């Protein structure tokens, strides 16, 4: 049987042309990526949100290249036939175009990603983006709320129509530079709609309303693993926090009572012996 064909960046553009919504989630590990591939998501973002979702940090700023490469390799192993995008972490591209290219190369060479994502559309970010793409590495842009700039902006705030001119210029500049798609984060719905209409490449929204070409959520949030995080844009599709808590509590009770392991969980000479 022939191997399944890996998803490509062209898939996203084709879906936009056909008016089909693009489905994406983050993933950080093998089992989650495997489930997302089985469910048929169009691409997986190995987000720098791993710093918060997996490592328990307060912001994304603590994500490192080594951390992101390890997560990306695990995701690729779990989703060998899905488009995988590695998220360039804070400090991996700010220094120079050369640093940005070297970091992006690591994502593809070591992490086996198909593309990278880079935050921002200001002149410095555009310079880094162009250098990466000129090296032959596909790039996804990211405008609106920029989690890596949380120290400069003073927090996580919805971007309003007052920033429309700037965001439009950033989106158009990223498209002109060769980005294959743009994430639009925490932007008023009408503004995200106008940005999507103004450019010819797919837009992927998170907290950007109904009119972007696709949607992305942090997988641990939509699975209900972060019960204290409840922004307006989030819809929970499961309550795994309660499910896992109950399972672990039941296990602990069974071990303490002596009911686990039971006879059915033990090895005997007639059952093949002790291993």
The reply to whether 162 falls in a domain is yes
Given the residues 175, 185, 188, 253, the one annotated as active site: 185
The CA distance from 210 to 215, in Å, is 9
* DSSP reduced 3-state for 268: coil
The reply to whether 251 falls in a domain is no
The reply to whether 186 falls in a domain is yes
The answer to whether the beta carbons of residues 60 and 148 sit under 8 Å apart is: yes
| Count: domains in the chain | 1
> Could you confirm whether 185 is annotated as catalytic?
yes
**Among the listed residues 169, 212, 170, the one whose alpha carbon sits nearest the alpha carbon of residue 187:** 212
The reply to whether 70 falls in a domain is yes
The answer to whether the beta carbons of residues 131 and 100 sit under 8 Å apart is: yes
Residues 6+ apart with CB under 8 A from 151: 61
Give the N- to C-terminal CA distance of the chain in Å, as an integer.
Answer: 36
The reply to whether 263 falls in a domain is no
The reply to whether 189 falls in a domain is yes
Question: Rounded to two decimals, what is the model's pTM?
Answer: 0.94
The reply to whether 124 falls in a domain is yes
Range of the domain at 212: 9-222
* DSSP reduced 3-state for 182: strand
Residue by residue, pLDDT tens for the chain (275 residues) are 344 567 899 999 999 999 999 999 999 999 999 999 999 999 999 999 999 999 999 999 999 999 999 999 999 999 999 999 999 999 999 999 999 999 999 999 999 999 999 999 999 999 999 999 999 999 999 999 888 887 776 677 888 899 999 999 999 999 999 999 999 999 999 999 999 999 999 999 999 999 999 999 999 999 999 999 999 999 999 999 999 999 999 999 999 999 999 999 999 887 554 54
The reply to whether 2 falls in a domain is no
The CATH number for 139's domain is: 3.20.20.60
User: Residue 212 has what DSSP assignment?
Assistant: S
């Amino acid at each position: 049987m022939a191997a399944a064909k890996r998803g490509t960046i062209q898939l996203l553009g084709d879906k936009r042309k056909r008016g089909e919504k693009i489905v994406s989630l983050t993933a950080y590990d093998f089992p989650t990526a495997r489930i997302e591939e089985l469910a048929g998501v169009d691409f997986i973002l190995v987000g720098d949100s791993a710093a918060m979702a997996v490592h328990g940090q307060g912001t994304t700023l603590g994500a490192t290249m080594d951390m992101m490469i390890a997560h990306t390799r695990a995701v690729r192993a779990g989703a060998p036939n899905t488009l995988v995008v590695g998220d360039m972490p804070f400090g991996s591209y700010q220094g120079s175009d050369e640093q940005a290219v070297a970091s992006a190369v690591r994502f593809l060479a070591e992490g086996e990603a198909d593309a990278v994502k880079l935050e921002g559309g200001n002149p410095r970010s555009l310079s880094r983006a162009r250098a990466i793409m000129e090296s032959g590495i596909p790039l996804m842009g990211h405008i609106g709320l920029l989690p890596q700039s949380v120290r400069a902006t003073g927090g996580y705030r919805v971007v309003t129509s007052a920033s429309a001119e700037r965001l439009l210029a950033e989106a158009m500049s990223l498209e002109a530079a060769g980005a294959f798609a743009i994430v639009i984060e925490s932007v008023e719905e009408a503004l995200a709609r106008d940005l999507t209409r103004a450019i010819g490449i797919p837009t992927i929204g998170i907290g950007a309303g109904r009119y972007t070409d696709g949607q992305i959520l942090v997988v641990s949030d939509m699975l209900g693993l972060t019960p204290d995080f409840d922004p307006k844009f989030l819809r929970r599709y499961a309550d795994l926090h309660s499910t896992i808590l109950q399972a672990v509590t039941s296990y602990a009770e069974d071990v303490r009572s002596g009911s686990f392991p039971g006879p059915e969980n033990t090895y005997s000479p007639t059952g093949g012996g002790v291993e």
